[in-house]
Chains A and B, each alone.
Chain A
Amino acid sequence: MIHAAHDDHGHGPHAHGDPEPAPGESIADRTYVPAVLRGIKLTLARFLQKKFTVEYPEESVYDASYADRGIGASNPRHRGEHILVKDEQGREKCVACLLCMAACPALCIHIEPEPAPAEWTDRERRPKVFEIDMLRCIYCGYCEEACPCDAIRLTPKFYQPTTSRTERVYDKQRLLENNPDAQVPQRPRK
């Protein structure tokens, strides 16, 4: 189509004595018909092929059955929702040092420390309140980097939609129970 400008002076640079005209210069190309036919053949094939859309949130990109669309497996380095890691005894690892709170550029972490129970000999403090406002969070991962105890981690778990803002503020219990593998489609794939 770029070469159509040559039509204005009747012949292109390859018009004389050249057995194979440049693209766009041949008679067939100038009528546009073969190109249009190729185009509609291509779009027809596209029309009939499988669609790439994942109907989030009913469907999830984490469903392995989407592997044929080039998606369906999460990248392990994806920074999604946080979890609070537990130690071998099932207690949270967090010692309420507030380093993550200080590192957070979005100021989305709110921690209120309390003294650890006397029988927890390895630490003095634990968080009474540990809240992350997922709407403020920018998923930068600085909290994970700042933590000296490997207590907070970002997982590949994808942002879950909710119908209210308050549901997006995760408390300590929810962060402890947040299961990155629990992300399954809520309805079976068609």
Chain B
Amino acid sequence: MNETLVAVLAVLVKAVIIVGFPLAIVPGLIYLERKVCSYIQGRIGPNRVNLTIGHIDYLLPPSMRGALPVGLARFKLIPGSLQPLADGIKLAFKEEIVPAQADKLLYFMAPVLAFVPVATALAFIPFGTPTWDAFGSGHVINLQLASANVGVLGLFAIGSLGVYGIAVGGWGSGSKFPLMGAVRSAAQMISYEIAMALALLSAIVTAGTVDLQAFVLHQATTWGGAGWLMFKQPLAALIFLVAMFAENNRLPFDLPEAEPELVGGYHTEYSGLKFGIFFLGEYTAMILMSGLFVTMFMGGWSLPLLIDPYATGGLNALLSAGVFLAKLFLVLGFQIWIRWTLPRFRYDQLMSLGWKKLVPLALANLVVSAIVLTFVS
């Protein structure tokens, strides 16, 4: 096979993985969210809609029904694991209500705008080693879809477009509450993007690169493989983590959705699958931000002693993808955990925290890092 064909094939396969990934794990995340929520509240959570081969004893004649062991006859893989599917079916069959005052084009475009940029930005996240020798054929494949040397900037440039989905949704609904929700939401996301970008700058200064794959390599090769920026830049990591919650509109910063004052926020007028796509976009944004945090602060797909960043073996590549996934779920789980722990901020507190604390802190951190690095190197 010639080089071009392999490259095109590799990109296609990676694209399918990147696009399919959020669609595949968002139901799992929803399930996780509901389960963690109920466990923290002392409940069991969804356990009725099961992935099951259960009740197969009903296929037998009545006299033989006791013969099968109960564990097999009523086998349930993960209790309640099909609940997200049931939720999805419910959403799909809901009536699609379009407000009479809605701007039809913007109204229909908004959910797409909220999902597509975020899913596209996932392409910049490296999910495995850069040097996988594809099945020993001599073709080296980088386990990252878009290996741009300005990865961080590209990711932010595209990922930030997600704000438009929210703003356009609020505007296009032709209704007051969604508009106010969208304005508030956009203000929040733009404010925290500043703190987040400044925190990232400290990390970029430390690693000396904006290429995400190089970021992981930097972390995997310094400090004996544990040179994670989380340890080198703890303050930047903390600021990024806080800003991440605000970017994803999650508790304690879930101001866009405020029942007492804004009803449902920007998606008040959305029903059925259009609301479902907003929902999907929100969870995909969560995956994107967690993936970015893992890549930039938690050493990405690297793990000391287990993964050799320059090896070409298939097992090594598979393991690195597994490590990335494990770390990703760690961060996602942490986000869910925090959601069911903290109460929400008031809007002025949110802005005060963002502009008066996080931004100056991140700036100071950047200056100090720059000075220290100048004298160290």
Which A residues are closer than 8 A to B by beta carbons?
1, 4-5, 7-8, 36, 39-40, 42-44, 46-47, 49, 51-53, 55
Binary contact track B13-40/A, C-beta < 8 Å → 1, others 0: 0000000000000000000000010011
Query: Do A4 and B340 touch (CB < 8 A)?
Result: no
The docked-state distance in angstroms from the alpha carbon of A72 to that of B348 is: 47
Q: Name the distance in Å between A174's Cβ and chain B's nearest Cβ.
A: 26
Known: A47-B39, A52-B42, A53-B43. A42 touches B349 (CB 8 A): no
Query: Do B40 and A43 touch (CB < 8 A)?
Result: yes
Contacts of B44 in A (CB 8 A): 51, 53, 55
Those 10 A-B pairs whose CB atoms lie nearest each other, nearest first: A53-B44, A43-B341, A39-B341, A47-B39, A52-B42, A43-B40, A46-B40, A53-B43, A47-B40, A40-B341
> From residue 342 to 363 of chain B, which have CB atoms closer than 8 A to chain A?
342-343, 345, 348-349, 352, 356
Q: Name the distance in Å between B357's Cβ and chain A's nearest Cβ.
A: 8
Which B residues are closer than 8 A to A by beta carbons?
36, 39-44, 47, 337-338, 340-343, 345, 348-349, 352, 356
Contacts of B42 in A (CB 8 A): 46, 49, 51-53
Q: Name the distance in Å between A61's Cβ and chain B's nearest Cβ.
A: 15
Contacts of A8 in B (CB 8 A): 352
Can you list 20 contacts pairing A with B, beta carbon distance less than 8 Å? A1-B343, A4-B349, A36-B338, A39-B341, A40-B337, A40-B341, A42-B341, A43-B340, A44-B337, A46-B39, A46-B40, A46-B41, A46-B42, A47-B36, A47-B40, A49-B42, A51-B43, A51-B44, A52-B43, A55-B47
Q: Name the distance in Å between B314's Cβ and chain A's nearest Cβ.
A: 37
Q: Name the distance in Å between B54's Cβ and chain A's nearest Cβ.
A: 14
Contacts of A39 in B (CB 8 A): 341-342
Contacts of B39 in A (CB 8 A): 46-47, 51
The docked-state distance in angstroms from the alpha carbon of A51 to that of B41 is: 8
Q: Name the distance in Å between B339's Cβ and chain A's nearest Cβ.
A: 10
The docked-state distance in angstroms from the alpha carbon of A4 to that of B356 is: 12
Contacts of B41 in A (CB 8 A): 46
Contacts of B47 in A (CB 8 A): 55
Contacts of B43 in A (CB 8 A): 51-53
Closest residue of chain B to A54 (Cβ to Cβ) is B44
Contacts of B342 in A (CB 8 A): 36, 39
The docked-state distance in angstroms from the alpha carbon of A4 to that of B352 is: 9
The docked-state distance in angstroms from the alpha carbon of A49 to that of B38 is: 12
The docked-state distance in angstroms from the alpha carbon of A52 to that of B345 is: 30
